[in-house]
Amino acid sequence: MYVIRGKEYPCCTSITMGIIGGKWKTVILFHLINGPLRYNELKKEIKTVTERTLSLQLKSLEEDGVIRRKVYTTKPPLKVEYSLTDFGKTLIPLLQSIAEWGDFVVENHAD
């Protein structure tokens, strides 16, 4: 049994899935690989996610230390950018492998 930030996990894979699992987290992280994006830019890239879900997933990823939320308040309008933290950047090879496997499935197992 592993305990990370007060949460118990039965194995190493469950730690990974606890942090990046679900329908949208890997999609969000994949879009942040190439650099910071604003909320609306993420929403444009991920058209089918609801605003509430996107906000909740971003908050969860931030709490887990995978992404950084930077607020620019020097002048209106308020600007917020999301980017991968150094910890989050360690996920890049995993995210790229997940994307490559998805491409493989499309090429070899699509109807």
The string of pLDDT tens digits covering residues 8-54 is: 889 989 999 989 998 999 999 999 999 999 999 999 999 999 999 99
Domains of the chain, each with CATH number or no CATH: 23-109 (1.10.10.10)
Residue 32, Cβ neighbours under 10 Å: how many?
26
Q: What mean pLDDT do residues 80-90 have?
A: 97
Its pTM stands at 0.89
CA–CA gap between residue 94 and residue 71 (Å, rounded)? 28
Question: What's the pLDDT band for 111 if we cut at 50, 70, 90?
Answer: confident
Question: What's the pLDDT band for 58 if we cut at 50, 70, 90?
Answer: very high
Strands (E), the chain: 2-4, 7-9, 37-38, 67-72, 79-84
- pLDDT greater than 90 at residue 1: no
Q: Give residue 77's pLDDT.
A: 79
Strands (E), 5-104: 7-9, 37-38, 67-72, 79-84
CA–CA gap between residue 55 and residue 103 (Å, rounded)? 27
